[in-house]
């Protein structure tokens, strides 16, 4: 969660929030920005800096949950947005922009031979599950315990299960995430224990006749804390191919890992890939792509498609224009520079940990980094849940506030890079993080 409170004066934000409470439940549209006594309201952004309505200016290390890979006010994206708005904001007819963006994704992402667009990562995962079911004729889906795939209630199962309901570690229960989650959907989900190769293989083989798909983020669980091992991913690729199960990589986040997505770095190719965030250039977007044989469920050439997919704002020309521009700007050299800056940041964080003798660990790769207040090693969701229940959870809000006080806007102690960042911005961040962690040690120990 991105904590955005501050010790600075918040009179303007408090006044806005008072009005918000009159027209929205508790004053919020986004639960992830809930803050007492009130949230801080943004005013404008430029490059990697975000200014709030009180005039406080901070480095934006959240970047709207990774979607603003080019930061704020990127001139090329603003120009194409303004031009496209003046020509056509939306229409029932397709535009050439969607063809351009599709061609970029088909060229770059190993699994993608055909692609369709929608409006969010959540919707992309919904459509991918539909496609897998239509292709295989099977009803169930397998996901990782603790895996996040947007706000699709089928895939919310066991997102935040706990010791009271999660069951055996080798055969985890499918648990309700929030009110209104029907049991009927839980019956259609198989929960897999991340990084337990033998237990997962056994579950896949036992349910192969009913499993349409396995879905996971190939880079991280819970948006950055736990990595699937390479051996585990290779096992998933081997078993799903052998058992006739569609393997879906949710790269809504991890596509930013490199020019060819995270799958390109791994050298492991799924059957379907879901996307969002960076492929919209800051405009709401989603994408689902894969090999032609799997995407054939959408084809209309020989009559009615198996899956009919459309929407009022599907492939909206504003998102397609901004997305095309965003992706064209993301050259291999840009990804290399962002990765180098990410490593520069991690080296600085490791020095802070070492110099201060902190009980902490530095995680990340590429443009994603984090420094967590725990030495507990986390290889699956249950270890992650234990770390948050005992150490990270109570400490993280304190740390995040201290980072805010150093004009660093972060997410769960994590840092999401963007292309306008300079080495000076990285050095500013390291210096601020050192002061924040020094105060943290004084307060917490």
Q: Please tell me the chain's helix, strand, coil percentages from 3-state DSSP, rounded to the nearest 5.
A: 45, 15, 40
Q: Give pLDDT, residue 445.
A: 77
Torsion angle of the four alpha carbons 246, 312, 154, 179, in this order, in degrees rounded to the nearest 10: 170
Sequence ranges of the domains in the chain: 11-69+331-444, 75-329
Q: Give pLDDT, residue 155.
A: 95
Q: Give the list of residues 6+ apart from residue 68 with CB closer than 8 angstroms, or none.
A: 60, 282, 418
Q: Give pLDDT, residue 8.
A: 55
Low pLDDT (below 70) residues in the chain: 1-9, 223-224
Q: Give pLDDT, residue 430.
A: 98
Q: Which two tokens stand for residue 390?
A: 């005992």
What is the CATH architecture of 11-69+331-444?
Alpha-Beta Complex (3.90)
pLDDT digits (tens, 9 = 90+) for 73-86: 999 999 999 999 99
CA 345 to chain centre: 20
Q: Give, rounded to a whole angstrom, the gap between the first and last alpha carbons of the chain.
A: 23
Which class is 75-329 in CATH? alpha beta
Give yes or no for a contact between 270 and 237, defined as CB atoms under 8 angstroms apart.
yes
Q: Give pLDDT, residue 4.
A: 41
Q: Give pLDDT, residue 9.
A: 65
Q: Give pLDDT, residue 413.
A: 79
Spatial distance between the Cα atoms of 24 and 57, rounded to a whole number of angstroms: 27
């Amino acid at each position: 969660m991105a904590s955005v409170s501050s010790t600075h004066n918040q009179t303007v934000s408090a006044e806005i929030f008072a009005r918000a409470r009159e027209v929205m439940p508790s004053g919020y549209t986004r639960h992830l920005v809930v803050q007492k006594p009130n949230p801080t309201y943004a005013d404008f952004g430029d490059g990697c800096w975000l200014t709030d309505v009180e005039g406080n200016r901070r480095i934006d290390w959240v970047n709207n949950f990774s979607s603003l890979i080019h930061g704020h006010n990127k001139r090329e994206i603003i120009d194409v947005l303004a031009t496209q708005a003046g020509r056509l904001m939306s229409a029932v007819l397709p535009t050439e922009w969607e063809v351009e963006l599709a061609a970029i994704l088909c060229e770059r992402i190993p699994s993608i031979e055909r692609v369709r667009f929608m409006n969010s990562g959540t919707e992309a995962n919904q459509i991918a599950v539909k496609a897998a079911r239509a292709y295989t004729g099977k009803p169930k889906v397998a996901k990782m315990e603790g895996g996040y795939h947007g706000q699709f209630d089928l895939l919310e199962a066991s997102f935040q299960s706990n010791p009271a309901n999660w069951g055996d570690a080798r055969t985890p229960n499918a648990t309700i995430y929030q009110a209104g989650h029907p049991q009927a959907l839980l019956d259609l989900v198989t929960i897999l224990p991340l990084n337990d190769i033998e237990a997962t293989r056994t579950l896949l083989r036992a349910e192969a006749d009913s499993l349409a798909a396995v879905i996971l983020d190939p880079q991280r669980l819970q948006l950055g804390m736990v990595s699937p091992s390479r051996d585990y991913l290779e096992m998933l690729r081997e078993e799903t191919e052998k058992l006739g199960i569609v393997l879906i990589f949710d790269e809504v986040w991890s596509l930013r890992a490199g020019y060819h997505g995270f799958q390109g770095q791994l050298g492991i190719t799924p059957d379907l890939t879901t996307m969002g965030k960076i492929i919209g250039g800051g405009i709401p977007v989603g994408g689902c792509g894969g090999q032609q044989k799997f995407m054939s469920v959408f084809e209309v050439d020989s009559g009615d498609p198996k899956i009919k997919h459309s929407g009022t704002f599907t492939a909206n020309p504003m998102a397609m224009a901004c997305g095309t521009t965003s992706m064209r700007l993301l050259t291999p050299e840009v990804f290399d520079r962002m990765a180098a800056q990410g490593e520069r940041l991690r080296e600085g964080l490791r020095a802070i940990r070492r110099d201060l003798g902190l009980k902490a660990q530095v995680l990340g790769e590429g443009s994603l980094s984090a420094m967590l207040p725990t030495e507990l090693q986390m290889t699956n969701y249950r270890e992650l849940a234990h770390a948050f229940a005992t150490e990270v959870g109570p400490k993280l809000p304190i740390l995040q506030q201290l980072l805010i006080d150093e004009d660093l806007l972060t997410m769960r102690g994590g840092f999401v890079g963007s292309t306008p960042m300079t080495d000076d911005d990285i050095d500013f961040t390291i210096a601020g993080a050192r002061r924040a962690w020094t105060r943290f040690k004084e307060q917490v120990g």
